[in-house]
Structure 1
Amino acid sequence: MTSTLPAPAPAPARTAPAAPGDPVRTRLLDLLDQRRPGRSLLGALYTDPELHDLDLRLLWHRQWFFAGTVAELPEPGDYLTVDLGTVSVLVLRDDDEQVRAFRNVCRHRGARLVSEPRGSLGNIVCGYHRWTYATDGTLRHAPQMVPPEQGGPDPACLSLRTVAVRVVAGLVFCCLAADPSSDVDAVGEVVAPYLLPHGLDRAKVAAQVDLVEHGNWKLTMENNRECYHCDGHPELLRTFFPTWGLREDQVPPRLRASHERYLAAEDDLRVACERRGLPREAVEDLVHRPLGFRVQREALDGAGESFSPDGSRLVARLLGDLDEPRLGRVTLHAQPNLWLHAMADHVITFAVLPLGPDRTLVRTTWLVDADAREGVDYDVEALTGVWRATNEQDAAFVGLTQAGVADPAYEPGPYSEGERQVDAFVSWYVERMREEASR
């Protein structure tokens, strides 16, 4: 059973035309209008540099996106950066242990403040002229500047430019818009009960791997939304039921035995969740909501505990206050750039970040309980093995698709019965871009 949140009213099929004199937006709207429901996008929407730039400016720079987790910022001064085209966002934990986000640009002459993807700092010091900012973004020191009492600039007017940030059960979301949607708060209320038992605020990073896929970011997200290709993931299929996304009447005979095993595991999971008061049913709003999402707790195959060759746990110490390893996985998908799996023993988050029309960064982070000991409670190679292999396989699939959609012979094809969520993601993209391009 799948329930939904009350959603904003859907946009009309075609809103006001693009601003006069903007041929790229006009072309975008024409391509969006040509997309047929139930089929993939036209090739230019995956390959054209000008349209990719519009993706960044109209969608990524205006919608909430997943930046990372609080476990990546365990101490005051710890930071991470997220780059979206020419925009760079600095996310950090300030001296009062609050998570903040800023534009990664000095208020003097614009130098990039922090270049590394992650690290730790005391103050934020510009490497060019040594302007120095506190972790709350206020300007502390500007060498050789005339003081305010002598007619110089007021330091209070030169604080770092802030970026909207929300923490949802340990997940950090940011929005670059001047007037961000409040949708993240409504979605957070639904998602939090699924994730809070896993205690992401009491977790630590066991491993993090950045992988560049040679494909458009939308192809990366589409690939994640279906298991039609899951025969290509032998390691994952040890614990991931291949009938994911199919209704009962859509299960083919060759997968019937797997599906019967899935139904039995789901029944066991239902009993375990009811005993512990854990939410389990699917809740989704994938098309009309600005922060499209889907969350559910689902059974795993084998021992039903974790992503291992036999489904048994990979970390001896369980997360949060969980008392049972056989609790399947919470799966969360949020658009434009997040999916995650939360087991009783560890959590894996995936952040999708566009690098270019045909290149996408997939940042995978494995979280374990903060008191779990490497080499004693878990082995990093074993912990990361299934998804390191799966990510490499997915990168190959995305690369093949990028090569195909760039070919003049490509025409958008029909989705299969198991690709409903791919269609939902593409429909969400079309709706968001049409709304923004028509403003």
Structure 2
Amino acid sequence: MARGDGPALSVGTGRSGREAVAAVWRIESPRIVGALARYTGDFALAEDVAQEALAEALVTWPREGVPREPGAWLLTVGRRRAIDAFRRRAGRDERYAALAHELGEGGAAPGTVDGGADELLFDPDRIDDDVLALIFVSCHPVLSREARVALTLRVVGGLTSDEIARAFLVPTATVQARITRAKKTLGAAGVPFGVPPAAERGERLSSVLHVIYLIFTEGSSASSGDDLIRLDLAAEARRLARVLARLVSDHAEVHGLLALLELTAARFPARTGPDGEPVLLADQDRRRWDAAAIGRGRAALDRAQETGRGLGAYGLQAAIAACHATAPSVEATDWQRIVLLYEALGRLAPSPVVELNRAVAVSMAQDPAAALPIVDGLADSAELAGSHLLPSVRGELLTRLGRPVEAREALELAVARCGNERERDLLRGKIAGLRG
């Protein structure tokens, strides 16, 4: 084989080739983009040339077969596209000369299987550094929340713009624009590719955790559309959390977030009925809960408690989820402990949503009359303005208090505000069941 021709191609063409591209890209894309970003020193260029390599694979693999080393093939093509990009850039002669020398003008670096691709891709220690750096860059605080989510799903999750658009029910062009702006913003801000120094790591890690949490939240309780749960999106968030927990093993909140996601996802199998309709917690068949996910979640929660000096916000939410996951029924749930955990969470990370959840727990630990003033006190909350959550909880409390007229008014407001069709159906069912 001539140097620089890429790895030999194995048998397998047509649809199998396209499926192989998708499978390899989903698994290897963070490593490929990370390695290219380290190699070029340019995050935006690395993502661009990785996408060009993906496009070339979509053409080549179905026609000629799947490479024996598909990840190395993609990385080699990406490196060559980077060389081409540097060649086109005026004033980059010095950088191009260095790259060209290393590659032998588009050929292979000596001593590697294919153009140095395995050297970049398969060093376990360097892979960890590259992927972690990629996560930190994608979730940089200089980016908007929407941009961080889109960029993380694209470069760390390996999702296409179409897949991200479908997940969040926005046009593909919107997602593409967010990703393009994000890369330009990172470039304009001079954000270097790499794991941030220790002094900056805490703030940046908080942003990373928040992005993963946002992705999971949209997956576990879809804000709009016909599906209550978007399993693919929630699963991607769990995968990202597992990767992060492996890479940042000494941080309590990383394990706390992973615990929260695992324990929440454990209830997914019982949260919907045969036709996708929502099933309330009290009516769920707990035998359908995922015992393995509960085990992983409790183990991660134990790790969070061992690693830190007390649970953080994600860890406290995980502890609440653990109360639900280990209880044999709603009635047997330790609601008093859940109230205490929400009180602690409210002091650590106060928000109207936390207070609303505390009210629900108070209604179960004591009675709905004790919880209603808490809910009414949130009526002027800007964060809950326009949300269906507040009138939904209020309607439930009023129903339990035997005040159907007021309950109907609250639940009708919740229906009007709710963007998810499955949840609207559930609320309409509650209205239909009111008497009086």
TM-score using structure 2 length: 0.26
Task: Name which one, 1 or 2, has greater alpha-carbon Rg.
Answer: 2
Greater strand proportion: 1
Greater helix proportion: 2
Higher relative contact order (CA 8 A, sep 6+): 1
